[in-house]
Chains A and B, each alone.
Chain A
Amino acid sequence: MTLAAEPFRVALVGNPNCGKTSLFNRLTNAKAKVANYPGVTVERRSGFVTGLDHAVELLDLPGTYSLFVASPDEQVARDVILGDVAGEPKPQLLIAVVDATNLHLGLRLAMELKSLNRPMVLALNQADAAERQGIKIDIAGLEEDLGIPTLETVAIRHNGVTALQNVLAEYARQAYASDNQLLSLGERPESVEALYARIDDIMARRVQQPIEPPVWQSRLDAIALHPVLGLALLLGTLLMIFQAVFAWATPIVELIEGGVELLEAGAETLLPEGILQDFIAQGLIAGVGGVIVFLPQIIILFLFILLLEDSGYLTRAAFLLDRLMRGLGLSGRSFIPLLSSFACAVPGIMATRTVPDPRERFVTIMVAPLMTCSARLPVYALIIAAFIPQQQVWGIFNLQGLTLFALYFAGIVSAALIAWIMRRRQGRDEYPLLLELPSYRWPMLYQVLMGLRERVWIFIRRVGTIILSLSIVLWFLSTYPAPPEDAVRPAIEYSFAGQLGMWMQPLFAPLGFNWQMCIALIPAMAAREVAVSALATVYAVGGESVDAALGASLAASWSLPVALAYLAWFVYAPQCISTIAVVKRETNSLSATLFFTVYLFALAYLVTWATFQLASLLF
């Protein structure tokens, strides 16, 4: 095995939904390195092809229909192919990935790529599905007519990519020097009409396929796209997902919480009492553990999103919701980022990259944090349990459950309202929807698991970097300066965080917040749920059942309007440094990030004030 310093660079190019990423995962054993292209926010996924003598670096370019681009994703694909990205050497070989069940569309891009005169091969992917649909392709004939080396691939089978691997090995060995690229992409070498005429001609000779797509596909769409049945199906699916996220995750969450507590206790017994012990137990383990707890919910939500995405259903949801969301200045395309934001706004904001309309993308980013993320749940759960009585409403509903629902609902309605206001500020050209509804297929376990692993890893890496360092900073702020010898009140009151909380209190007095509540807001900037442990610290409760004890002391010292006001604050306030950081990265604009932070804090202040005043009148 020789690992040359310079790997042979290969790029996968293809339409969205052509199975490009499955092929990538199969070729690289799903070992993707995910980074960003310099200066742009589109993900750069690369990996090394396994089982070859030469190092072959495979680049998974964003899906594109054409080199004449329509979205930031497509722009990157084009720029990389043409070698226009600084610091990104152009690929030495292109693999045009064409979905064999959707040849007509895929071949067009392949032919467009061919006009660049780059070394390339054509991978007819999902060859097995094509065979099942009765599509017969004369590979040798197609290869001859297209003038591109062509082979079949089946990304879902272990040996489905062997032929492609062999071809890659051959190219890498020869490290093709011939490179006659047309460096500029000026005029089209031939019109769209002429190109399609050629494709029609080639397909007539080399491909036999049934006129209609398979019956079961049409039947599924007759339901999934139906104005009434389709919406009912979508609503049912979403309800099931939320049920799963909250019901299934609970036992695992409790397990992790138990583990974190054990670790803390272990650190406290093993290490000598003092600043190091406190730092490790309270700073590191409690800080990072408080965020890791959300992993099960994030995994479950993403598992469902990936399943729906892989099966082809998610774009149907976008279809159904497009008109509704357009009333708010968004489109069906914003649905997926907003759905992800119910787990965590960070991946949700990252998912806005597929939105071609820059204005729509901006608005989606601005409202994504109003979707109730899982980090708010512990705060909601604590306060609801302490202040809202367990009683039945109209026989079937539980008042506590209704309150939780109202908090979710408040977030969604506010997001809709804000999107609507932002939309009205601009009179401008419309962007088209033009969204492909891919064929349904049975989700492939391997692909779903690999996708899940990748997303979970991104989250864990964030916990290991941003959240870890923030936990350290916040621990420092809440620990120093140490209380005087004869201190009677909790240590945190003497710390920087405590002083800051006291200093903030007059500002928050109109909202009904006391200084303890203000202190808790500071560490909650690392992650909202940290507010719970911070409250536990300032109210100096501890021991076995922290939540119950804390609930009792909150109920004793806060009035109901204050509790409701605190809930309202957490619905709106951007109490999350990670979200602010990701907004900065994705918008690449300081003013947009400032706007995001200021408007959300202002909104939180206003709504909390109104909630407090109104509740004080009522109760």
Chain B
Amino acid sequence: MNRFLSKPLSLITGCLIVATSLCACRGNEVENVDLKSIRDCKELEVAEFNFHKIIVERSTVSALGIAGFGLASFPERTLILPVDVKVVGKIDFSNVTKDNLIHDGDKVVFTLPDPTLRIVSIRPDYEMRGKASREQWYRGGGFSDDEIQKIGEQAKDSIMIDRTLEKMAERTRENAASVLIPLISLATGVSEDKISVQFNSDLNLTAATLKDDDTIIFRKKE
């Protein structure tokens, strides 16, 4: 081969090899995305809590701003968006065994698993937003995706308040008892007034963790 050609040729080949190996590496990158899946469960949903929140956003646009002071400002745009949030209170039955049922004389005591909550839906009412909002000529009435996400976060935060959580957990327990006592009475043949339902007492009903899948799990008492 020509002496003058061999160097550039090997250089090009080298570059090609590096480029293809880089491409191959890129293809092998593992996607960092949650696994969407089908999951078996044995849960009893006993309560549904319907929350309502009205989101108000005011936006102003000023022009020719110097050090935070606008020399001219446009009229304010006000968006009003009602949001419905639905939370479900449930009890997981996957670990219920014979140990959960205890005979105490002629009485029957059933120990219920811990309640959990799940935010099942956050529904903004777009139709109402269209009617109630004051839009301006320079900007339409829509929320951007980021804003909608922020609204979702705000709605979730407003539910993760101690008193609200406690109320929901207590109601879930009450409802579970009222659903299960007749069922236990029917199945065991013991009259309802002799059946009691008890709960795990070391659960802290005012402190909970919101998981990525919108499930709210109560923490144990410290």
A binds B: no
Task: Please report B residues at the A interface, Cβ cutoff 8 Å.
Answer: none
